[in-house]
Structure 1
């Protein structure tokens, strides 16, 4: 995993948490558990806009890293989100505040995809996101979506 090693206090990221982060930030399901979305076959060429719950094919459930940061800022957690992007110390975020910012339907969907309890998912995400966002923004700038996606492929 490289980039994500030691991004979380206390050790490396578990597979369900990687799946959750992938769903949020890049729309990827990193396990083959989702029956309706086979992982190994190449994606067919889009024939037109299809109704979907995700904001884009590669922007995750919240519109990628930029979308996640916008949701946090709009929910009044801009100082914390900006601290993760910036080069100073990362401010924590409360699990319930994170859940409110992301939205209950997105949390519910990610919990179902990962097999995690919603509260446990929020607890782990609130612990992991400051370090992950910090690692994804080493120069204090939000990378392009394809750069975020490539971090999940390495």
Structure 2
């Protein structure tokens, strides 16, 4: 049997109203992780600026005996920007490569379209549901019929849609 402390058990699937107060098992670990990430990011940026902008004499005076060549202070941000731009360009190119041609039928319909069954020699199944008292079945309208209805001129409206 379900107890009062287990409000969403299979026996009592509905939660109680008013809702139970939250338990006090909260930890402050995410706050400490965020603080460490924030301070280490600022420290790394400060050291990067010292390495990029201070003359060699000051770095030697600070006790730094080896550091990468200063041209990397310019190359790392430049390469980072190029990498981000190439990433966007790659995703854009993959999206274009996955897009079907305009002449492809998948730009108009897909495999989930529900079209009426067509039998040779029978009238258009859409016209069978055109009576005023008829409740039509639910079908997707073919794009050719939509184009004929929306974009045909008055002279071509007189033709039948039995095809």
TM-score when normalising by structure 1? 0.16
Q: Higher relative contact order at CA 8 Å, sep ≥6: structure 1 or structure 2?
A: 1
TM-score, L = length of structure 2: 0.15
Larger radius of gyration between Structure 1 and Structure 2: 2
